[in-house]
Amino acid sequence: MNATPSLLALRMPSPVGTLTLVADAACLREIHFPKERHPSKRPLPREGENGPLREARRQLDAYFDGGLRAFDLPLNPIGTDFQREVWAMLAAIPYGATWSYGELARRIGKPDAVRAVGAANGRNPLPIVLPCHRVIGADGSLTGFGGGLPTKQFLLRLEGALPPETDLFA
């Protein structure tokens, strides 16, 4: 008997490209960018739609429209206990704010685990919803992001965490 829950994938357009959402019948499990830094080695599940996928699409659309600041979705990211601890703390980073990797490590009670926190952050299977884009370098630099730095910049600007781009010739 196969204990793996049946997964479905839903593609949705967004301002950062077509996102692919993956969910089982109860929980959102993954969000994929069109081009990913760490692409999955396993094939995506068949396309379809279920309650968690419809709700995730609705909330993501509201987020991109500027009307949603906090997601309220059933989530089940698959990872180690340490990764899941880091990912859970990502949800505590307020909309419009940024934390450094060191701050994130301190918040989970492991201040010496900055590199491990960075690695876990980079493997976050639910970007945007678990806002790994809000984690930046200690010097304020926009360090690596699974969806690419332009996507990270877009998301942080959308949330007001970065100043708007200025047109020097306007």
How many angstroms separate the CA atoms of 112 and 109, rounded?
9
pLDDT greater at residue 4 or residue 79: 79
Greatest Cα pair distance in the chain: 65
What is the token pair recorded at 67?
């009307």
Q: What is the pTM of this model?
A: 0.89
How many angstroms separate the CA atoms of 63 and 69, rounded?
6
Using a 10 angstrom Cβ sphere, with 0-12 exposed, 13-18 middle and 19 or more buried, the burial of residue 15 is exposed
Crossing angle of the two packed helices 114-122 and 81-90, in degrees rounded to 10: 80
Residues 76-115 have pLDDT tens digits of 999 999 999 999 999 999 999 999 999 999 999 999 999 9
Catalytic residue among 9, 56, 117, 132: 132
- Report the C-alpha dihedral over residues 99, 102, 105, 110, rounded to 10 degrees: -160
Query: What is the structure's pLDDT at 168?
Result: 44
* Residue 40 pLDDT greater than 70, yes or no: no
Quick check: is 27 catalytic?
Answer: no
* Residue 37 pLDDT greater than 70, yes or no: no
Cα atoms in the 13 Å half-sphere on the side-chain side of 167: 2
**Percentage of the chain with pLDDT > 90?**
76
- Over the chain, what is the mean pLDDT? 90
Query: What is the structure's pLDDT at 165?
Result: 63
